[in-house]
Amino acid sequence: MSKYWLPKTLRSRRGILFTFLTASIATALVVGIVSVPSLVEAKKNKLRTEVHPGELDDYYGFFSGGHSGEVRVLGLPSMRLLKRIAVFNVDTGSGWGITNESKAMMGGMIVGDTHHCHGSYKDGTYDGKYLWVNDKANNRLARIRLDLMETDSIIKIPHVQGTHGTFPQRYPQTDWVVVNSEFRTPVDNEGKGNFEDPSTYGGVHTIVDAHKMEVIAQVIVPCNLDLAGTDYQGKYSFATSYNSEGGATISQMLARDRDWLVVFNWDAIKQALKKGSYKVVDGVKMLDGKPGTGLAIYIPIPKNPHGVNISPDGKYAIASGKVSPTASVIAIDKLADAFAGKIKPKDCIVAEPQIGLGPLHTTFDGRGNAYTSLFIDSQIVKWNIQKAIDLYQHPKEGDTAVVDRLDIHYQVGHTMASMAETKEADGKFLVSLNKISKDRFLNVGPLKPENDQLVDISGKKMRLIEDEPSYVEPHDCIIVRRDLVEPHVLDRAVMDEHPLAVHKNAIERDGNKVTVHLTANAPVYGMQKVEVNEGDEVTFIVTNHDEIPDLSHGFCISEYNINFVVGPFQTKSVTFTADKPGMYWIYCTNFCHALHLEMRLRLLVKAKA
């Protein structure tokens, strides 16, 4: 008989309880104990802002983890922290950075700085398969599988420093991911020649194959490239660029009144690759994207722009100069004429509303309104895009595109509305990611929590719902409807997906190399002792054979600096040198059974003669 003979809803503790409660409630309805209105969470025109115990959130929030190097998964609107996905960091909770599999991906680095986390797309909305996140510190790009919510690939981006803006292709599906280098550097950065001269530095727009996780090509430009975006037709990618001066000091970077929004033409890039119009550097195809090459145009944007975001209808790119009180609205349907030389790049700008001090990032409600974060004013400002365009064409004294303002606590950086980076922006919630909390929470010492605030944007006026402390620099997030993610998430891993999955317990010896194949079933490991010699290179390969979805096992070797967790049907491995003779307990670190404390085995390391 198949081990999956039970219906899926009955294969977990929650499923059994849910089935029981559903039957009980149905019975209660029949006898009149529970009224129908009490089972309805809210009317369709009313926003559900409270998630009671036992209820599930309506959205997944995927937050970059900043200096921690991780990605955090929150439920919205509850703002409950559901998981911390280790990416560029060592995490003993999961064993990331300890197991062989994770070490191989990390490439010896244990420091990360994640800023921008974005999901894979199909036809302009999320398909629930992958997330990508950058590492600004060590110039890497990682991909996370959403069925497991674990990192499955990390690549190094060559010829760059400050890999910052990252964005996937939205249409027709995610085949490319673009990554910007914020810091201009010498492409041949080997400390030779005139490498101190900033005028020799360049920026890089990297195109990555989303499926193979390989660099396809890099476009070299004479400026730095900050935040990234892609359109809804698969034609263009965008990069804000401050420091058009090409300076190396802060005073040099503030000389001009305008910088650029750089727009890359994907058809032209593909054609250049097809024609071989590139040079190969370190095995990478590198294209020239300076003005006049036809690969990119440079739209002048008020001073020091930071964010660039595309409206859900696909019509506009909005960029903000962070030391200018304005947002710039760029009509995407004018870009083709700009590339063809029929109009100047600046003619693509159709509005520049004054919205407040320190504008950084813009998000959308799908009803024609934009919401921009104001770092200096500590506000979210709501403004109407069409009204801004109308006033740009026909100014009216005293009139404004601004609809509403909400004070934020304090100094907001990124902001994101629910589903706002898709064509299905629903205008329900907005998260404001604030850099300073200023006494909003209990004092926890010199390093204060930051403050993520949840805002109701379903009505004309914005309404602050709650504060949520957040650990060092989360930077950015996306808010994804539950139905787009939850169906993809697995109850357990696919056991045989790992090439070393263990089905039988065994010890293999090859000289001084010892491989231990070990199963874990609550409350026992498949062996009670393992004997090795001092100096042996020992590899443990551990597979969890328990089927209950939330029954994980830990694997910790006393005194050997090894600890990791293995979820149901998962396999993980670790390799170490048995350099400490003696008897050492290996024990389960995850409470798994009434006899959890007894779940252990002995590692016997025989001393050299």
C-alpha dist (Å) from residue 594 to 149, 303, 597: 29, 63, 8
Residues 6 or more apart whose CB falls under 8 angstroms from that of 596 comprise: 522, 523, 588, 590
Q: Assess if residue 552 is contained within a domain.
A: yes
What pLDDT does residue 191 have?
A: 76
Band of the pLDDT at 10, cuts 50, 70, 90?
Answer: very low
Contact (CB, 8 A) for 238 and 317: yes
Terminal Cα distance for the chain, rounded = 53
- State mean pLDDT over 447-456: 95
Confidence of residue 45 (pLDDT cuts 50, 70, 90): very low
**The predicted structure's pLDDT at residue 28:** 37
Q: How many CB atoms lie within 10 A of CB 285?
A: 18
Calculate the CA 15 to chain-centre distance: 30
DSSP 607: P
Determine the Cα–Cα distance for residues 226 and 321; give it in Å rounded to an integer: 12
Amino acid at 296: A
| Residue 294 belongs to a domain | no
Cα Rg, the chain, nearest whole Å: 27
Cβ neighbour number for residue 440 with a 10 Å cutoff: 17
The first and second tokens of residue 603, run together, are: 């590692």
Q: Write out pLDDT tens, residues 569-601.
A: 999 999 999 999 999 999 999 999 999 999 999
Which residue, 315, 312, 343, is CA-closest to 330?
Answer: 315
The pLDDT, as a whole number, for residue 605 is 98
Interior/surface letters 356-385, b for 16+ CB within 10 angstroms, e for the rest: bebbbbbbbbbeebbbbbbbebbbbbbbbb
Domain membership of residue 337 (yes or no) is no
Contacts of 336 (CB under 8 A, 6+ apart): none
594 located within any domain? yes
pLDDT digits (tens, 9 = 90+) for 474-503: 889 999 999 999 999 999 999 999 999 999
What's the whole-number mean pLDDT along residues 425-440? Answer: 95
H helical segments located in 212-312? 266-275
pLDDT for the residue 20 = 38
Average pLDDT over residues 520-538: 98
Confidence grade of residue 196 (pLDDT, cut at 50, 70, 90): confident
Establish if 541 belongs to a structural domain. Answer: yes
Q: Give backbone dihedrals phi and psi of 429, rounded to 5 degrees, phi first.
A: -125, 155
Mean pLDDT for 130-159 is 97
Instruction: List the Cα angle 559/565/570 in 5-degree steps.
Output: 135
What range does the domain containing 15 cover? 8-39
Measured CA to CA in angstroms, residue 551 lies from 38, 102, 546, 573, 605 at distances of 34, 22, 7, 19, 30
pLDDT at 44 over 50: no
Q: How many CA atoms lie within 13 A of 564 on its CB side?
A: 25
State residue 8's pLDDT score.
43
Predicted local distance difference test score (pLDDT) of residue 23: 41
Please check whether residue 530 is in contact with residue 542, taking contact to mean a CB–CB distance below 8 angstroms: no
Phi first, then psi: what are they for 441, rounded to 5°?
A: -135, 170
The DSSP secondary structure of 2-47, one letter per residue, reads: -TT-S-GGGSSHHHHHHHHHHHHHHHHHHHTSS-GGGG----TTS-
- Mean pLDDT in the chain? 91
In 3-state terms, what secondary structure has residue 586?
strand
Report which residue type is found at 176.
W
Confidence label for 215 from pLDDT (cuts 50, 70 and 90): very high
Structural domain contains residue 579: yes
Torsion sign over Cα 491, 496, 499, 505 = positive
Confidence class for position 427, pLDDT limits 50, 70, 90: very high
Torsion of CA 230, 232, 234, 238, to 10 degrees: -20
Q: Is residue 277 part of a domain?
A: no
Distance CA(92)–CA(84), nearest Å, equals: 12
Which residue do the tokens 């064993």 mark? 95
What's the total number of domains in the chain? 2
